[in-house]
Chains A and B, each alone.
Chain A
Amino acid sequence: ETGVTQTPRHLVMGMTNKKSLKCEQHLGHNAMYWYKQSAKKPLELMFVYSLEERVENNSVPSRFSPECPNSSHLFLHLHTLQPEDSALYLCASSQTAQGASSPLHFGNGTRLTVT
């Protein structure tokens, strides 16, 4: 496996369910990110981890809970979501969380539908 891998690709969950999104990067990067992509809206940065430490939390509701157990893995734990949380959730990684020439490498996303 190469690059950034996200599972599952699709997820349908009820508002009372608890589920988790998983991301794994095989690039040896030290920073990992969660983004939300909704139709006709710009990508929204949710969380940034650098060397497993959270360095950015962009006013995200507590029903989204990130976890970064090591520099290769990132999770997004979901509970009591709302229908407006339906979106494509993208994981990305970069060599560092600083520096201008540290481009983001994205996974293919998890398409989440909240019913």
Chain B
Amino acid sequence: QKEVEQDPGPLSVPEGAIVSLNCTYSNSAFQYFMWYRQYSRKGPELLMYTYSSGNKEDGRFTAQVDKSSKYISLFIRDSQPSDSATYLCAMRVLTGGGNKLTFGTGTQLKVEL
């Protein structure tokens, strides 16, 4: 079983839709969760990070963590064509372990006009 599972997509939605991207994980020691966005031919860029259960909002983006279910989500409201990218979830233990992140495979999102 992979430590982090993420549906690779592709996911295609119309402009303005609400997008839900998800990851599940098996290691209960993971306490720190991140979402990266990667545009084509670019490196990943950090979108959001959180280390607590519940929701964290930043503009059109909301990160949600449910540690009891080992499930994290990224919601994108009012999706735009510029949101078309691959979204990578990543996680790590909170203390120790260096800065070693475990990544999902990424979900490819396309927002169409």
**Residue positions of A touching B, CB distance < 8 A:** 4, 6, 31, 33, 40-43, 45, 48, 55-56, 90, 92, 94, 96-109
Q: Known contacts A40-B105, A42-B103; decide if A55 and B44 are in contact (CB<8 Å).
A: no
Q: Known contacts A40-B8, A100-B32, A100-B92; decide if A90 and B98 are in contact (CB<8 Å).
A: no
Q: Known contacts A43-B88, A90-B43, A107-B43; decide if A96 and B4 are in contact (CB<8 Å).
A: no
| Seed contacts A43-B90, A100-B94, A107-B43; 14 additional CB < 8 Å A-B pairs | A4-B43, A41-B105, A42-B4, A42-B102, A43-B88, A90-B44, A94-B99, A99-B99, A100-B51, A101-B49, A103-B49, A104-B46, A104-B101, A106-B43
| B100 lies within 8 A of A45 (CB) | yes
Interface centre among A104, A105, A108 (most CB of B within 10 A): A104
Residue of B nearest to A50 (CB): B98
Sorted from nearest, which 9 A-B pairs have the closest CB atoms? A106-B43, A42-B103, A43-B103, A108-B43, A103-B46, A100-B32, A106-B44, A97-B99, A108-B42
Number of A-B residue pairs, CB cutoff 8 Å, is 63
| B98 lies within 8 A of A97 (CB) | yes
B24 to chain A, nearest CB (A): 14
B86 to chain A, nearest CB (A): 10
Q: Which residues in A have their C-beta under 8 angstroms from that of B49?
A: 101, 103
**Residue positions of B touching A, CB distance < 8 A:** 2, 4, 8, 31-32, 34, 36, 41-46, 49, 51, 88, 90, 92, 94-95, 98-106
Residue of A nearest to B32 (CB): A100
Among candidates A40, A42, A97, A100, residue contacting B95 with C-beta atoms closer than 8 Å: A100
Q: Known contacts A43-B88, A100-B92, A100-B95; decide if A106 and B101 are in contact (CB<8 Å).
A: no
Measured CA separation A56–B104 after assembly (Å)? 20
Measured CA separation A59–B9 after assembly (Å)? 30
B46 to chain A, nearest CB (A): 5
Q: Which residues in B have their C-beta under 8 angstroms from that of A56?
A: 98, 100
Q: Which residues in A have their C-beta under 8 angstroms from that of B4?
A: 42
